[in-house]
């Protein structure tokens, strides 16, 4: 399931670096020209986000250079941190302690280990089936029945979103697509770039032309302008990157539209949880962005569908086993 770094990947990295340098220059110029209080705050936040992007892209590039093991380790670590942010925000009781321990230290590493072994069948059912049945069993052994279903559901939902769904991003590496041997790393890059750029473009369009809020009760920062402009431009960007994927330009367009819409849905759903708990962000890990989960929520919701649709249209029967 390993992939090679080829010329296309280098182009991509150069493109990313160029974009980031340009954005940093714009951020610097804006910081010189911003006058009003509100404008200054926005530009400061923008520059904080940009600095964080340098770090995030650096870490991601490093993991990709190491190869599929690096990517799996990175996503396993992200899952761990995301799950930690999730349970920190969600009420749990002391009787949940041991079940949570299992979630963090058994199910999370196990899911990524299964992917490392390239065992697609198990990776796709371990959490939905085995963890789903194990969690209530472990909870019932704690002899605490108050709020039982709530507690079991919260823990399982966290595992599903932060571990299972997120693990579908590096799971792209075990797809053995005909005519695309050792190139699946680019498919992961494609997903991450399109979904993350969609978040960035929605933010930019929202700042520029966003007026009417799309879901004022859930997320006051999401506007129709940001949504339409961001989705459209990210879809175009994804289409323009068709050459690095196994898709035709038209398929790349539909795929990009699909994952940007799902990414938007993910952001909205995770916002609803934050609103319910009365907070703005899941954490403070990434300067300007909030927590890890705030950054990867769109990937959590787009990766599983992207994986399965890709698998459905490009693979008929064979998934490579180690």
Partner 1 sequence: MTGATARWINCAPEARQRVYFANHTSHLDFVVLWSVLPRHLRAQTRPVAAKDYWQSGLRRALAINVFNAVLVERSGTVKAERSGTGKAERSGTGKAERSGTGKVEPSETAKGDHSADGSDTERDRAEQIGTARHSLEVLLEALDARHSLIIFPEGTRGKGGPVGPFKSGLYYLWLKRPDVQFVPVYLANLNRVLPKGEVLPVPFISRVTFGPPLEPAAKQSKESFLKEARDALCALQQA
Q: Is 245 left (phi over 0), alpha (psi -120 to 50) or beta?
A: beta
Q: Is 92 a residue that touches partner 1 (CB under 8 A)?
A: yes
If the CB atoms of residues 27 and 147 are measured against partner 1, the closer one turns out to be: 147
79 binds partner 1 (CB under 8 A): no
From candidates 54, 77, 80, 148, binder to partner 1 by CB under 8 A:
80
- Note whether 2 binds partner 1 by CB under 8 A: no
Is the CB of residue 125 less than 8 Å from the CB of residue 264?
no
Six-digit token string for 101: 């321990």
Structure tokens at 221: 């920062």
DSSP 45-85: HHHHHHHHHHHHHHHHHHHHHH-HHHHHHHHHHHHHHHHHH
Window contacting partner 1 (CB under 8 A); options: 13-21, 28-36, 37-45, 84-92: 84-92
Question: Considering only 23-31, 68-76, 93-101, 154-162, which stretch makes contact with partner 1 by CB under 8 A?
Answer: 93-101
CB closer to partner 1 out of 271 and 285: 285
Q: Is 157 in the site for partner 1 (CB under 8 A)?
A: no
For partner 1, what does the binding mask look like between residues 112 and 131, x meaning CB under 8 A?
A: --------------------
Q: Helix 292-314 vs helix 249-277: angle between axes, to the nearest 10 degrees?
A: 150
The nearest distance, CB 265 to partner 1, in angstroms, is 26
How far apart CA 187 and CA 252 sit, in angstroms, is: 11
- Taking CB under 8 A as the rule, does residue 97 contact partner 1? yes
Binding-site residue total for partner 1 (CB under 8 A)? 17
Question: Do residues 194 and 251 lie in contact, with contact meaning Cβ atoms separated by under 8 Å?
Answer: no
Lookup result for tokens 């992007």: 53
One residue of 88, 145, 248, 287 binding partner 1 per CB under 8 A: 88
- The structure tokens listed for 107 are 């199910």
Residues in 225-284 that interact with partner 1 by CB under 8 A: 283-284
Q: Does 224 bind partner 1 (CB under 8 A)?
A: no
Q: What tokens were used for 228? A: 């339409």
* Listed ranges 11-19, 63-71, 100-108, 148-156: which one lies at the site for partner 1 (CB under 8 A): 100-108
Round to whole Å and give the CA distance between 107 and 159. 8
- Give the separation between CA 251 and CA 313, rounded to whole angstroms: 10
Q: Please, what is the minimum distance in Å from the beta carbon of residue 100 to partner 1?
A: 5
Of residues 2 and 88, the one with the C-beta less far from partner 1: 88
Chosen residue from 28, 101, 157, 243 binding partner 1 by CB under 8 A? 101
Considering the rule CB under 8 A, would residue 289 count as an interface residue with partner 1?
no
Q: Does 48 bind partner 1 (CB under 8 A)?
A: no
* Residue nearer to partner 1 on the CB measure, 6 or 281: 281
CA 88 to chain centre: 19
- Concatenate the DSSP letters of all residues of 250-319 into one string: HHHHHHHHHHHHHHHHHHHHHHHHHHHHT-S-S-SSBTTTBSHHHHHHHHHHHHHHHHHHHHHHH-SS--
> Which residues are at the interface with partner 1 (CB under 8 A)?
80-81, 84-85, 87-88, 92, 94, 97-98, 100-101, 104-105, 283-285
């Amino acid at each position: 399931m390993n992939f090679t770094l080829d010329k296309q990947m280098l182009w991509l990295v150069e493109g990313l670096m160029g974009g980031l340098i340009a954005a940093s220059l714009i951020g610097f110029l804006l910081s010189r020209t911003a006058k009003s209080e509100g404008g200054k705050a926005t530009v400061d936040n923008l520059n904080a986000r940009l600095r964080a992007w340098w770090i995030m892209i650096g870490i991601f590039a490093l993991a990709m250079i190491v190869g599929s093991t690096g990517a799996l380790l990175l996503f396993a670590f992200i899952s761990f941190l995301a799950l930690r942010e999730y349970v920190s925000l969600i009420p749990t009781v002391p009787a949940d302690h041991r079940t949570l321990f299992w979630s963090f230290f058994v199910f999370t590493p196990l899911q990524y280990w299964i992917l490392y072994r390239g065992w697609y069948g198990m990776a796709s059912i371990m959490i939905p089936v085995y963890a789903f049945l194990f969690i209530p069993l472990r909870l019932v052994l704690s002899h605490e029945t108050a709020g039982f279903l709530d507690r079991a559901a919260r823990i399982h939902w966290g595992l599903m979103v932060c571990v299972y769904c997120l693990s579908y991003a590096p799971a792209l590496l075990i797809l053995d697509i005909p005519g695309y041997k050792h190139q699946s790393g680019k498919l992961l890059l494609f997903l991450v770039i399109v979904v993350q750029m969609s978040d960035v473009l929605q933010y930019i369009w929202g700042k520029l032309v966003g007026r009417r809020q799309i879901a004022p009760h859930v997320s006051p920062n999401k506007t129709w302008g940001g949504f339409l402009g961001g989705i459209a431009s990210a879809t175009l960007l994804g289409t323009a990157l068709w050459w690095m994927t196994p898709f035709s330009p038209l398929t790349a367009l539909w795929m990009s539209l699909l994952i940007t819409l799902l990414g938007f849905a993910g952001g909205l759903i995770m916002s609803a949880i934050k609103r319910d708990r009365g907070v703005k962000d899941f954490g403070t890990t990434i300067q300007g962005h909030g927590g890890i989960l705030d950054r990867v929520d769109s990937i959590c919701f787009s990766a599983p569908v992207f994986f399965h649709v890709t698998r459905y249209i490009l693979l008929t029967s064979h998934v490579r086993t180690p």
